[in-house]
Copies of this chain bind each other. A is one copy, B any other.
Amino acid sequence: MAAAAGVARSTVSRAFSQPGRLTPETVERVLAVAERLGYTPNPVAQALSTGRSRNIALIVPDVANPFFPPLIRAAQRKAEENDFCVFLGDSDENSDREQQLLDRFANQVEGILLVSPRLTDAVITQFAKRVPIVLVNRDLDAVPRVLIDSGEGIEAAVDHLKSLGHQRVAYVSGPTGSWSNGQRRSHLRRAADRTGISIISIPAIKSSFEIGKKTTPKLLSSGTTACIAFDDLLAQGILAGFAEAGVSVPDSFSVVGCDDVLGSTTTPALTTVSNRSELAGDVAVTLLIDKLRTHAIRDARHVLSTHLVVRKSTGAVRIPT
């Protein structure tokens, strides 16, 4: 290539990376020859030489969980805008696999976006020393993070239910070790104290339509008149379970979801806590790339607030207790 253009290898390099330092004619000539020869700088060689690969990795617990695709999309888009490519890893909600992915990516990318990680604080902190990491939905000191704070939404949900006359509410909980689950649970507790509503907890372990569906009998025998589910998937399952059991929602039971990933597609349309996953992906990538550029070690902590989206799955209690 250099020979074909009658210039030195370094000139070719500059023609692509810093054309300003070259005579316009030289740049033009080099680029023309490159075009003719179908030459493109080899990114792998560039990466080796500069130490910067222009690649980042994104690790999520489950690509198929509707919460993540919008985040992935937004992250990929933002990365692309900054001329970065993104690796995707699916940990399958499994901390071992998550760590494995982290290992595979660590020395191949400039930074990693770790979304809703299941790993322990210690392990994450360890990795964060090796490679720039930005967390989504995990609150760890000294690691830049963006948090979707369901707090406001959850508290609003409790207020909403109270205003409808509900006294006993069930929380169908999510994955243990998930920051979001802990956060939702604690806000629920706080709201309960504040409003005098009593909250009982029904574990679901993992989020899925089927699991939600199987939860309905427990809900029915729990003495509650409403529930707040860890996420919309569970809520949707609960809706289906009730429909099958002939329990009318919201007339006989009120259901609140979380994350608003289903929009108005459920029957009845789900009252839920708003979702900011798209924005989270966008902000997280910005944070990461910013960190790469400035090498600043500032302890960024970006909190995204939420609100309650009232639709049709919540209503007044039929028989006030």
Contact = CB atoms under 8 A, between A and B. Distances in A.
B63 A69 contact: yes
A107 to B, nearest CB: 6
A66 B47 CA distance: 35
Contact of A73 (B53, B58, B63): B63
B40 A107 contact: yes
A101 B101 CA distance: 23
B86 A87 contact: yes
**How many monomers of this protein are in the complex?**
2
A43 B73 contact: no
Interface residues of A, number: 43
Contact of A44 (B53, B243, B266): B53
A265 B236 contact: yes
The winner among A77, A85, A105, A264 for most chain B CB atoms within 10 A is: A85
B90 A88 contact: no
B90 A87 contact: no
B85 A73 contact: no
A104 interface: yes
Contact of A76 (B47, B53, B90): B90
A62 B68 CA distance: 13
A203 interface: no
Contacts of A117: none
Interface in A53-80: 53, 55, 58, 62-64, 66, 68-70, 72-73, 76-77, 80
A6 to B, nearest CB: 24
A179 interface: no
A90 B73 contact: yes
A112 to B, nearest CB: 12
Given A87-B85, A236-B265, A69 B76 contact: no
Interface in A142-185: none
Given A44-B53, A85-B89, A85-B108, 13 more contacts: A43-B108, A44-B47, A44-B108, A55-B87, A58-B88, A63-B69, A63-B72, A73-B90, A80-B89, A80-B104, A87-B87, A209-B265, A240-B264
Interface of A: 40, 42-45, 47-48, 53, 55, 58, 62-64, 66, 68-70, 72-73, 76-77, 80, 85-90, 101, 104-108, 209, 236, 240, 243, 263-267
